[in-house]
Structure 1
Amino acid sequence: MTLQHMERPVGIGTHEGTERVGAGGLGMDFQRLTVRTTVRIISRYGVLLGFLALWQAAASSGWVNAAVLPPVDMIVAALWKGLAGGSLLGDIAISLQRAGLAFAAAVIVAIPLGLMIGQVRAVETALDPILQLFRQTSALALYPVFILLMGLGEASKVFVIFWATLFPLLLNTISGVKEVDPKLLEMARVYGARRLTVFRRVVLPGAVPSIFVGLRLGATTALLLLIASEMIGANKGIGFQVMNAQYNFQIPLMFAAIVILAALGLIANQVLVSLQRRLCRWNDPAS
């Protein structure tokens, strides 16, 4: 048999074979990507998913009292009904308005004050005793005082959130200023940098990471105090919805409101983390 009469193996060295190999390679890559993504999701959220599955099984099978600890699917249904029907949207808007106003006021007051206290020793010496006193006093313990002074309206609710949010942000800002490397400050002064330039180019960038830690702590504190303030003398808000649902024994709705509060906290934290990474790329170990 001559070489001309030898049959070429199908799929080897032909366009059809190249297409088959290429398709197979893409299929393998897709499978690897799917497996890798699944492993990443399980490693990150496996415990949470297992906890939810155990909760669902325990409530559905009667291991726990479903009237007190309803199944996850009932909570999800109540959450969907409240959001789709709009009954929870108004509460979310009111709560975000209260927490947002208090948090913004704390940022406006705490960051400039913390930057000044951290740099001026005389101001720190004068204010430190009263700051330490107020810092150790629970905002919830002072809430009745705020109610007496401002009434049960919006002012007392916003102010108690502001008061509790102020100190984590203020103290972290002061700490950030104090932790700036003294050698950098000395070098800037040796090169003739003015006080404003030193502040803008050395002090402020050095304090930003610590300020963001204070922002994240403050955001968490704002949501915690929001719940407490709305449970007293409020007729709107997520905290009110939690108490109202508990009084009326609408337990799935109560858990749905708690889920919303947790989601708001996660979103606020993620927004601040993303903003910190964008503004502090030089301080990000992953960059």
Structure 2
Amino acid sequence: MTICGYRVPMMASLLFWCVVWEIVGQSGAMFLVPPLSSVVMAGIDLVQTGSWQAAAVTTLRSFALGMVLAIVAGTTLGVLMGRVKAIDNLLGIWVNIFVSAPLSALVPVLMILFGMGETTVVVTVFLFAVWIIVLDTRAGIQHVPASLVEMARSYGASRPALYGKIILLAALPEILAGIRLGLVRGVKGVVIGQLLVSIIGYGELFELYSRNFDMNNFWALTLILFAFAMLVSALIERLEKRVEFYAGVR
């Protein structure tokens, strides 16, 4: 970013809004927005409590299970849709519907089907993440050059070798892009699922802090979630860039 001919680091925008937050909080103009410094101190104290650690373990477990299922199912379905025209025609419209649908409205239905527990949260994470993984995997598979496939067949490559050494590797940058987007959507899914269930994990803590107007811990918990989502996305994006560099011209 360049302002008046000077190069300004991208972090400057974040620092600017942090300063604005601190000023607004110190002014006392909004009761629901405490000073950022107080929120940070509350966050440091929060992560040392047993309640936060137990909630974090529950949340991470639900997130990890949902994402593993979403990645396995999403890449498998994306490969099938990318390679088999009949499956693409049959399922394509449903995948696009679920990508654009307000999935939050389905959580009460999931609660009826799976109960008021962790299973509902895992399914919510899965539904939030899987569809974008399917679409990006499908796009990557469909853009694999036909010359690579023909070359592998001309050398007598078996079907497992064709998929494992040619098709999946050539489509890997797009698959990783879908996983990165799916991870971000999965964080949203685990928070929404736990908020609506409101008896486990971070949902329980959000409910407790909002009910007691404990805004310092409420915002601290929110910042922790944002930081986790940004960290996971940055790690996958870094891997994605390395794969793109080595993939070169596919």
Give TM class, smaller chain: 0.7 to 0.9
Q: Which residue of the other structure, out of 179, 200, 215, is the alignment partner of 1:215?
A: 179
1:80-159 matches, cutoff 5 A: 80-159=44-123
1:138-217 paired onto structure 2 within 5 Å: 138-217=102-181
Contact 1:102 1:162 in 2 (8 A): yes
**Pairing 1:43–2:9 present:** yes
After the TM superposition, which residues 63-74 of structure 1 pair with which residues of structure 2 at under 5 Å, given as runs?
64-65=29-30, 67-74=31-38
Q: Tell me if structure 1 keeps the 8 A contact 2:118–2:200.
A: no
Q: Does the aligned pair in 2 maintain the 1:114–1:170 contact within 8 Å?
A: yes
TM-superposed deviation, 1:86: 3.4
RMSD: 2.3
Partner residue in 2 for 1:10 = none
Give the distance between the partners of 1:192 and 1:85, measured in 2 at CA: 60
Following superposition, the deviation at residue 240 of structure 1 comes to: 2.9
The one-letter code of the counterpart of 1:100 is A
Deviation at 1:121, TM superposition (A): 1.7
Shift of 1:246: 1.3
Cα distance change on mapping 1:129 and 1:53 into 2, 3 Å: closer
For the residues of structure 1 that align with 2:133 and 2:110, how far apart are their CA atoms? 21
Q: Give the Cα–Cα distance (whole angstroms) in 2 for the partners of residues 95 and 71 of structure 1.
A: 27
Superposition deviation, residue 69 in structure 1: 0.8
Q: Structure 2: how far apart are the matches of 1:224 and 1:185?
A: 38
Partner letter of residue 108 of structure 2?
A: P
1:251 and 2:241 are equivalent in the alignment: no
Give the match for residue 59 of structure 1: 25
The answer to whether the 8 A contact 2:177-2:237 is kept is: no
Shift of the 148–73 alpha-carbon distance from structure 1 to 2, 3 Å rule, reads: same
> Displacement, 1:266?
1.4
The superposition leaves residues 113-152 of structure 1 with CA deviations (integer Å, 9 ceiling, x where unpaired) of: 2112211222222322433444443321221211111111
> In 2, Cα distance between the equivalents of 1:111 and 1:73?
43
Report the counterpart of residue 229 of structure 1 in structure 2. 193
State the shift of 1:197 in Å.
3.2
Listed as ranges, the gaps of 5+ residues in structure 2 are: 1-5
What's the CA shift for 1:238? 2.0
SS of 1:263's equivalent? helix
- Structure 2 letter corresponding to 1:96: L
Q: Give 1:76 shift.
A: 1.0
Q: Work out the CA distance in 2 between the residues paired with 1:167 and 1:113.
A: 10
Q: Which of residues 214, 224, 227 is equivalent to 1:263? A: 227
Give me the identity figure in percent: 26
Deviates more, 1:272-281 or 1:159-168: 272-281
8 Å Cα contact 1:227/1:240 also seen in 2:
no
Distance 1:187 1:279 in 2: 22
* Deviates further, 95-104 or 272-281: 272-281
Q: Residue 190 of structure 1: CA displacement?
A: 4.2
Asked if the contact 1:188–1:198 (Cα under 8 Å) also holds between the matched residues in 2, the reply is: yes
Q: Answer whether contact 2:24 2:33 (CA < 8 A) is retained.
A: no
**Would you say the 8 A contact 1:245–1:251 is kept in 2?**
yes
Residue 191 of structure 1, CA deviation: 4.5
Matched position secondary structure for 2:197? coil
Q: Deviations over 1:36-81 (max 9, x none)?
A: xxx99x613112112111221232134x22x211001110111111
Shift, 1:187, TM fit: 3.6
* Mean Cα deviation higher: 72-81 or 198-207: 198-207
Aligned residues: 244
Tell me, which stretches of 5 or more residues in structure 1 are unaligned? 1-38
* Contact 2:197–2:203 (Cα < 8 Å) also in 1: no
